[in-house]
């Protein structure tokens, strides 16, 4: 009985940003639970690699090229996925990231932060990261009255971390938009939730967390010292929360929530 709560057989899951480490880990977990996966992104090489890994593990997946920042591209991608796999019932919005030019080094002047860099981070994380995919795929979910949308927010969207001011503000907006859509679509069969990862090493932040010799950087040491579990997370550790939120049986009364996966980082106030 318990295992059937997390059985996603027959579900079609779109993972935007599935070419990356965290999105890829979430795609793996959904495939292992029985869902058919459409990896959506711009990097065909990485996308096909993820598809092969899923298939090697016994899952089903395809890659669909699309640009999350372009609504027409997303719409064309959605229609191609539906034609190949059938109606989409799960949407994972895992695209996003920060930009160096929108980061404040120690001692820098916030008043000189370039507005263009700020806007780029918001477009990447809020418009392309959540707004446009929810509009495009939400349209077809609403038509059939069924769907689970999971947006990837961030620990920094809950507590503004130093340096990454634009990224923190954008992820706070992701949480807010998640709650808005959850309220709007609650009676229409669509559940909308967010997952806020803590610190998970990936290509984008590896140099921030590690020195060239593999030891923790000063920043990495500070984070580890503030994390009760005394380590960083790994991509597969997002799988449980992802499958739970994706399952209409396991989380049927859960919407508008922000699930934090951070090794206890947010529980430490000092």
Cα angle value 224/240/140 (rounded, 5°): 120
Percent of the chain with pLDDT over 90: 82
Q: What is the pLDDT of residues 204-224, one digit of tens each?
A: 778 778 888 888 888 889 889
Distance CA 76, CA 56 (A): 28
Distance CA 137, CA 43 (A): 20
Q: What is the pLDDT of residues 131-160, one digit of tens each?
A: 999 999 999 999 999 999 999 999 999 988
Average pLDDT, the chain: 94
Distance CA 26, CA 182 (A): 21
Which domains occur in the chain, in start order?
3-198+235-260 (3.40.50.720), 202-232 (no CATH)
Distance CA 98, CA 36 (A): 30
Distance CA 251, CA 245 (A): 6
pTM (2 d.p.): 0.94
Query: Minimum mean pLDDT among 56-65, 159-168, 204-213: which range?
Result: 204-213
Q: What is the pLDDT of residue 181?
A: 98
For residue 144, CA distances in Å to 8, 103, 123, 141, 191 come to: 18, 42, 29, 5, 13
Q: What is the pLDDT of residue 103?
A: 87
Tell me what the mean pLDDT of segment 66-83 comes to: 97
Just list the catalytic residues.
167
Percent of the chain with pLDDT over 70: 99
For residue 128, CA distances in Å to 122, 125, 133 come to: 9, 6, 7
Cα angle value 110/116/117 (rounded, 5°): 60
Residue 1, pLDDT above cutoff 60: no
Tell me what the mean pLDDT of segment 242-247 comes to: 98
Q: What is the pLDDT of residue 204?
A: 74
What's the Rg (C-alpha) of the chain?
A: 18
- Taking the CA of residue 10 as centre, how many other CA atoms within 13 Å lie in the half-sphere pointing to its CB? 6
């Amino acid at each position: 009985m318990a295992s059937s709560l997390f059985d996603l057989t027959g579900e079609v899951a779109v993972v935007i940003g599935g070419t990356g480490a965290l999105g890829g880990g979430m795609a793996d977990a959904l495939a292992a639970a029985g869902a058919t996966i459409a990896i959506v992104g711009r990097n065909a090489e990485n996308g096909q690699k993820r598809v092969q890994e899923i298939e090697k593990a016994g899952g089903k997946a395809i890659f669909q090229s699309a640009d999350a920042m372009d609504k027409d591209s997303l719409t064309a991608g959605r229609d191609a996925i539906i034609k190949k796999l059938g109606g989409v019932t799960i949407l994972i919005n895992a695209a996003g990231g920060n930009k160096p030019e929108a980061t404040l080094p120690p001692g820098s002047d916030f008043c000189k932060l370039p507005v263009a860099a700020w806007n780029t981070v918001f477009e990447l994380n809020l418009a392309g990261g959540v707004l446009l995919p929810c509009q495009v795929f939400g349209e077809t979910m609403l038509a059939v009255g069924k769907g689970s949308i999971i947006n990837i927010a961030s620990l920094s969207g809950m507590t503004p971390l130093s340096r990454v001011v634009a990224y923190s503000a954008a992820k706070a907006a992701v949480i807010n938009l998640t709650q808005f859509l959850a309220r709007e679509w609650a009676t229409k069969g669509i559940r909308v939730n967010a997952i806020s990862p803590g610190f998970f090493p990936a290509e984008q932040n590896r140099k921030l967390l590690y020195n060239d010799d593999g030891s923790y950087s000063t920043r990495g040491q500070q984070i580890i010292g503030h994390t009760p579990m005394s380590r960083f997370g790994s991509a597969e550790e997002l799988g449980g929360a992802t499958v739970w939120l994706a399952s209409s049986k396991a989380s049927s009364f859960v919407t508008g929530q922000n699930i934090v996966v951070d090794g206890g980082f947010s529980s430490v106030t000092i």
